[in-house]
Amino acid sequence: MAQNISLSLVMTIAQEDWPNLKRFAVDNKLLPAASPLEDRVVFMGDSITQGWLDYGYPELFKNYPYINRGISGQTTPQMLLRFRADVLNLQPKIVVILAGINDIAGNTGPSTLKMIQDNIISMVQLAQANSIKVILSSILPADRFTWQPGINPADAVIQMNAFLKTYAKNHRCYYLDYYSSLVNESKGMIERYSEDGVHPTIAGYKVMTPLVLEAINEVVQKQN
């Protein structure tokens, strides 16, 4: 009886594909091998990263050798589980990591800031062990979740960004500060940059895009 329950649980977990490895499985397989002359960049993240491709500035992934691997709703443990398939195996020179807001919202269960930090550290370590440069992005300002009305994430976001900035400085990462350009006086996002307080509008992405391009250019220049 216990064996049947265990088998059923394993099958259910496998069917659910919690990290959503199947999302990019075909795309990853069809992607040509990276050229030594190609400054390939993978963007790893959640809906904010996915939104760049969906509506924010899709040309970013057509005009440059950039690959979008954002999945809406994801938390850092899910990203960590798919990091090998969706980042390492694609052999980029740079990975841009933007993660953590959904952990603070509790999308996949309760999460402490230490848990988020550890997952991000693990992604950085995996990248650096494979000679991939890391751009660590600040979490965007947020003072509410429309899907979790009882949580005010503003102070947690500030604490996480302080950690990310310090960690990046001490571990050879580039810290990409979106927060300062998007924040309002109440520690949320400026209204024209977000309709729901979390996800950028097209205007928000217009602020973010030159910042990430500048970051990538600086990292590439240091490599060459």
Q: Provide, rounded to the nearest whole percent, the portion of the chain with pLDDT above 70.
A: 93
Q: Which residue has the higher pLDDT, 11 or 80?
A: 80
Cβ contact 41:66 at 8 Å: yes
Average pLDDT, the chain: 93
Global pTM value: 0.92
CATH of domain 38-223: 3.40.50.1110
Give the pLDDT confidence of 86-126 residue by residue, as tens digits. Answer: 999 999 999 999 999 999 998 988 999 999 999 999 999 99
Q: Which residue has the higher pLDDT, 162 or 9?
A: 162
At residue 160, the pLDDT reads: 98
Residue 179 CA to its chain's centroid (Å): 14
| CA–CA dist 116, 90 (Å, integer) | 24
Give the pLDDT confidence of 63-73 residue by residue, as tens digits. Answer: 999 999 999 99
Residue 79 in tokens: 């990203």
Per DSSP (E only), the strands in the chain are 41-45, 66-70, 94-98, 133-137, 174-176
With cut-offs at 50, 70 and 90, classify the pLDDT of residue 22. very high
With cut-offs at 50, 70 and 90, classify the pLDDT of residue 6. very low
Give the pLDDT confidence of 33-71 residue by residue, as tens digits. Answer: 999 889 999 999 999 999 999 999 999 999 999 999 999
Cβ within 8 Å of residue 7, ≥6 positions away: none
Other C-beta atoms closer than 10 Å to the C-beta of 66 total 21
Cβ contact 56:200 at 8 Å: yes
Give the pLDDT confidence of 195-222 residue by residue, as tens digits. Answer: 999 999 999 999 999 999 999 999 999 8
At residue 12, the pLDDT reads: 46
